[in-house]
Amino acid sequence: MQWGPLQSRLVASLAASLFLLALYLLLFSPNVALAAELPLDSYELGDAPHDVGNVRGAASYEPEFDLFDRSIIGRALPGVATLENDKPRALNLQPGTMACYVVEKSAIFGNDGNSTGGAPLRPLDEASKTLHLSATTCLQPYFSGSNDKRSSPPQLILSVSNSTEAGCRKLSKDPKDAGVTLFEEGAAMYSLNATGDIYVGITAPNVSSDFQGVYNFEVAASLTDHFHRYQKRDAAELLWMDSDSTSALLVTRNLTENEADVRRIMDQGPPYELFVSNRDSAATDGLKHSACGLQHTAQITANTLSNSKSNSPARTGMTLKGPGGFPKQQFYFASLNASSSYIGILVKKSKVAAHEKRQVGDFDTGSVVFEATEFQTVSGTNCKVVTDLEFCNEIQYAVPGNDKKFNGTALAKAYDDYAKTMYANFETVMMQIPCDAPRTSLYSLARNCNDCKAAYKKWLCTVSIPRCEDFTSSNRFALTRNAGQAFPNGSQLPDDVRNPLIAMPYSNASRNAFIDSEIQPGPYKELLPCEDICYEVVQSCPAAIGFTCPQPGLISFAYSYGRREENGSTASCNYPGVAQTPMSAARNLVPDSILLSSVSLAAVMMFG
Ligand SMILES: *[C@@H]1O[C@H](CO)[C@@H](O)[C@H](O)[C@H]1NC(C)=O
Ligand SMILES: *[C@@H]1O[C@H](CO)[C@@H](O)[C@H](O)[C@H]1NC(C)=O
Ligand SMILES: *[C@@H]1O[C@H](CO)[C@@H](O)[C@H](O)[C@H]1NC(C)=O
Ligand SMILES: *[C@@H]1O[C@H](CO)[C@@H](O)[C@H](O)[C@H]1NC(C)=O
Ligand SMILES: *[C@@H]1O[C@H](CO)[C@@H](O)[C@H](O)[C@H]1NC(C)=O
Ligand SMILES: *[C@@H]1O[C@H](CO)[C@@H](O)[C@H](O)[C@H]1NC(C)=O
Ligand SMILES: *[C@@H]1O[C@H](CO)[C@@H](O)[C@H](O)[C@H]1NC(C)=O
Ligand SMILES: *[C@@H]1O[C@H](CO)[C@@H](O)[C@H](O)[C@H]1NC(C)=O
Ligand SMILES: *[C@@H]1O[C@H](CO)[C@@H](O)[C@H](O)[C@H]1NC(C)=O
Ligand SMILES: *[C@@H]1O[C@H](CO)[C@@H](O)[C@H](O)[C@H]1NC(C)=O
């Protein structure tokens, strides 16, 4: 094949370009001192990935390095990596160094693709667009000092500007300056209206000799929302239901309250991970708002992966149990330490790992870290958390138990079977009531037999399965029960404590004889059912079934029902599905207009 002079020159110049490019690549390959080439004095690049292996507890973590790709052929400055829309990047950073990124104008205004998910934007239409930048700390130097005063290393710094000078060179003296954000608990978020290229610097501060290791961070730019989010809500996203001495049960809020969406949400499976650490542990300090930071440092992780580990202390799954029957994710932790405080941090996982791109039109791919939920374990061992009961499916709290006779599943079943038997009696009564009659002849226009059955079932489950607190509980609303019996380990209460208690019938026995004879939990305290559980039955059921509630003020009321206290931090009465974590809007169901009739034994206690 013959080439004309023009083609020959083209080939020659192409060959020369390729040679230069190869040379460039060689010189600029990682570990070759790129820093020397950099025009900006404060640049130094992160160390090689194998250094991370030295970081305690992070041996399996291998961050990726990508500072070099676009800088070689792109239009950006050498050493400045481009940050593409919705594509997180990760890097190691030695203390005292800085990394720099540019979000190019074309990435913001969509000239080079459909990054906004809609029609391509014409730059003239918009003078500026809002750009959301976010970064999280995945690793930080660890404390190796000898003194007892452990401390966390200083936080990373995010600097943003429309010029290289301010974004990527020197940090302003005053960190309060616009564009300079100190990470908080391992996370920084920043939004600005961009008109052109935006430079993003991440600076690792110098650390004292008490610290060893490197920082590692993830950074992302997005036009839709912060890719890494920390969300503080008025009301907790994660609710602590109850704990005993070794286990705890937590659930999310309803993931939907739209009936039409229930199936879809359940099919999607668990959307969250939960990271739990002892409150005394310093491991997650400084990283509590960072999804990747928690992943590497939390003591216990609950996710779909941990479910499949045989000796995992955590289980999680979707459930429809609890009030309303809406989808929730439930977390159950076993093998916790007694009398300890824990913090649980809920994380909605990113659907995109560093260096992948989120799907066009998917506005929900980044990670969200929610505000921590605190919970405690107790000291005594005769209250046991039960959940997933088949019949009493709203019961999710600690109940009187006995390690020597029942494991968790067996205990739950014993109570559930008992309640089921009692319910059968009620159904016999209900069969006398004309439920299938036309509406006009029903006992009430507002309520039907299904309402009655539901109210009665809730009442029955709550009174047959008492909510248990330690005998040592200081909750002034909790009532002592079964004081005369020995604890499962055989020890009795000391005589001076025991004698006054066994003299009173209500504190020498449980609400139901079944508990004392079958479960034999020994002394415990009961948080009484909320009175409105009883009123709901009166309101929902035909008078013919003869169900009544005791009147407040009577002694029979005081030993059978509790009342809601509006401003207390401890629960004052038991209502199934109500969490220990305060929820913002407490409902008050106590009706004004109920006529309370005289005491009916059935509704007060269930002795015999
Ligand atoms: C870290 O310390 C060195 C030497 O004192 C100094 O030159 C550098 O600016 C410091 N870096 C930061 C980010 O403070
Ligand atoms: C951009 O959008 C058009 C239609 O809106 C589509 O045909 C095209 O494949 C998209 N390009 C990319 C790179 O997503
Ligand atoms: C950078 O931002 C400043 C103020 O926010 C603005 O006055 C200036 O024109 C911008 N420069 C460029 C190159 O966009
Ligand atoms: C961006 O501009 C809009 C409209 O001018 C303004 O409402 C918004 O507060 C600006 N956002 C930021 C982060 O400055
Ligand atoms: C879920 O919805 C039900 C019914 O509306 C409500 O009673 C319950 O409190 C909700 N649960 C949570 C945890 O918000
Ligand atoms: C339980 O306590 C032991 C000893 O204090 C401690 O080493 C361990 O980390 C604790 N475990 C949990 C899950 O809190
Ligand atoms: C038996 O259990 C009770 C309640 O958990 C506890 O207070 C007591 O110390 C235990 N006694 C012995 C001998 O372990
Ligand atoms: C719990 O006890 C029941 C019967 O007592 C037994 O069948 C079951 O295997 C036990 N479960 C566990 C997890 O030990
Ligand atoms: C208290 O209960 C125990 C059994 O738990 C029983 O033996 C004892 O007689 C009761 N005492 C009184 C005063 O009723
Ligand atoms: C609410 O708190 C106030 C002040 O602490 C107290 O006086 C009041 O009795 C409390 N109300 C209830 C219902 O506990």
C-alpha 114 – ligand 2 centre gap (Å): 6
Whether the predicted pLDDT of 576 surpasses 60 = yes
Of 102, 104, 66, 134, which Cα lies nearest the Cα of 366? Answer: 134
Q: What is the pLDDT of residues 50-63, one digit of tens each?
A: 223 223 333 333 33
Is 597 inside a domain boundary? Answer: yes
Which residue owns the Cα nearest ligand 10 atom 11?
Answer: 567
Q: What is the pLDDT of residue 64?
A: 37
Q: Give me the pLDDT at residue 171, please.
A: 61
Say if ligand 7 is within 6 A of residue 381 CB: yes
Residue 387 CB less than 6 A away from ligand 9:
no
Q: What is the pLDDT of residue 583?
A: 52
State pLDDT tens for residues 205-222: 999 988 999 999 999 999
Evaluate whether residue 135 is within a structural domain: yes
**In this predicted model, which residue has the larger pLDDT, 364 or 5?**
364
**More confident site: 285 or 13:** 285
H or E element at residue 319:
strand 314-319
- Residue 223 falls within a domain, yes or no? yes
Pocket test for ligand 10, best of 567, 572, 590 (most atoms within 8 A of CB): 567
Which of 395-409, 542-556, 582-596 is the least confident region?
A: 582-596
DSSP one-letter string for 104-170: -HHHHHTTTS-TTSSSPPPGGG-S-EEEEEEEEEEE-PEE--SSS---PPPPPEEEEESSHIIIIIP
Is 297 inside a domain boundary? no
What are 33-55's pLDDT values in tens digits? 232 222 222 222 333 222 232 23
pLDDT in tens, 421-458: 999 999 988 888 776 555 555 556 567 788 889 999 99
Q: Is residue 30 in a domain? A: yes
**249 within domain boundaries:** no
pLDDT of 24 above 60: no
336 lines ligand 6 (CB under 6 A): yes
What tokens appear for 488 in the block? 């499962």
Higher pLDDT, 11 or 245: 245
Of 171-185, 219-233, 511-525, highest mean pLDDT: 511-525
Domain assignment present for residue 405? The answer is: yes
Average predicted confidence (pLDDT) for the chain? 78
pLDDT at 51: 29
**Higher pLDDT among residues 296 and 556, named by residue:** 296
Q: Is the pTM of this model over 0.85?
A: no
Q: Of 199, 229, 259, which one is at a domain's C-terminal end?
A: 229
362 vs 309 pLDDT, higher one = 309
Q: In the predicted model, is pLDDT for residue 127 greater than 90?
A: no
Report d(CA 93, CA 487) in Å as an integer.
Answer: 57
Q: Residue 293 — φ and ψ, nearest 5°?
A: -65, -45
Pocket of ligand 7 contains residue 524 by CB under 6 Å:
no
Is residue 162 within 6 Å of ligand 3 at its C-beta? yes
Q: Does residue 314 lie within any of the structural domains?
A: no
Residue of higher predicted confidence among 362 and 341: 341
- Indicate which CATH number applies to the domain containing 103: 2.60.120.380
Predicted confidence at residue 246, as pLDDT, reads 92
Whether 168 shows a pLDDT value over 60: the answer reads yes
pLDDT (0 to 100) of residue 545? 84
Confidence of residue 124 (pLDDT cuts 50, 70, 90): low
Q: Flag whether pLDDT at 334 surpasses 70.
A: yes
- Distance (Å, rounded) from C-alpha 115 to C-alpha 358? 10
Instruction: Please give the biggest Cα pair distance in the chain.
Output: 115
Position in ligand 9 atom list of the atom nearest CA 485: 5
- State how far the alpha carbon of 329 is from the alpha carbons of 191, 252, 395, 425, in Å: 32, 5, 16, 34
Residue 589 pLDDT: 31
Given pLDDT bands bounded at 50, 70 and 90, which one contains residue 31?
very low
pLDDT at residue 517, as a whole number: 95
Least confident of 15-24, 332-341, 583-592: 583-592
Could you tell me the residue range of the domain that residue 554 belongs to? 381-608
Q: Which of 229, 258, 291 is the last residue of a domain?
A: 229
Report the pLDDT value the prediction gives residue 43, as an integer from 0 to 100: 26
257-274 pLDDT, tens digit each:
999 999 999 998 899 999
Last residue of a domain, one of 229, 249, 281: 229
The pLDDT of residue 567 is 57
CB 196 less than 6 A from any atom of ligand 3: yes
Q: How many domains does the chain have?
A: 2
